[in-house]
C-alpha cells in the first residue's frame, strides 16, 4: 500500500448461505493491528467490501471503522476481493 502501510488479508471466512452476505475478512495493518469482520457482500453491481458494523441503541447499523481516503478504500477492497476469489 501507499505511505509504507502494508495491508495483509489474514483470514477469509466464506459463508455457504443463500444470502447477499458472502463472507468475512480479517486484515492486518503493517503488522501492528488487526481489523476483524470486514463484510464481503453481493450487491447490484457485484461483490463489494463493507466495514465492520455494530448495532446502535437507535436500532441502526453503524460502521465501526471508516476509511477517509478513497484510493486506500479501493485498494483494500481489491485486495480482499482478490483473496476471496482465490
All domains in the chain, ordered by first residue: 2-85 (3.30.1120.40)
pLDDT digits (tens, 9 = 90+) for 36-86: 999 999 999 999 999 999 999 999 999 999 989 888 889 999 999 999 998
Alpha-carbon gap, residue 15 to 1, rounded angstroms: 28
The alpha carbon dihedral of 43, 23, 86, 12 has a sign of positive
Q: Does the CA dihedral 29-69-63-23 come out positive or negative?
A: negative
pLDDT tens track for 2-42: 567 889 999 999 998 789 999 999 999 999 999 999 999 99
Task: Tell me: pLDDT of 1 over 80.
Answer: no
Q: Give which of 24, 16, 54, 58 is closest to 41, Cα–Cα.
A: 24
* Residue 54 backbone class (left: φ over 0; alpha: ψ -120 to 50; beta: rest): beta
Q: Any idea which residue has 464481503 for its cell?
A: 40
Amino acid at each position: 500500500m501507499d505511505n509504507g502501510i502494508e495491508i495483509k488479508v489474514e483470514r477469509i471466512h466464506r459463508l455457504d448461505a443463500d444470502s447477499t452476505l458472502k463472507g468475512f475478512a480479517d486484515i492486518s495493518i503493517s503488522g501492528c493491528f488487526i481489523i476483524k469482520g470486514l463484510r464481503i457482500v453481493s450487491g447490484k453491481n457485484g461483490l463489494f467490501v463493507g466495514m465492520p458494523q455494530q448495532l446502535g441503541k437507535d436500532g441502526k447499523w453503524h460502521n465501526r471503522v471508516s476509511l477517509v481516503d478513497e484510493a486506500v478504500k479501493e485498494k483494500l477492497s481489491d485486495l480482499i476481493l482478490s483473496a476471496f476469489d482465490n
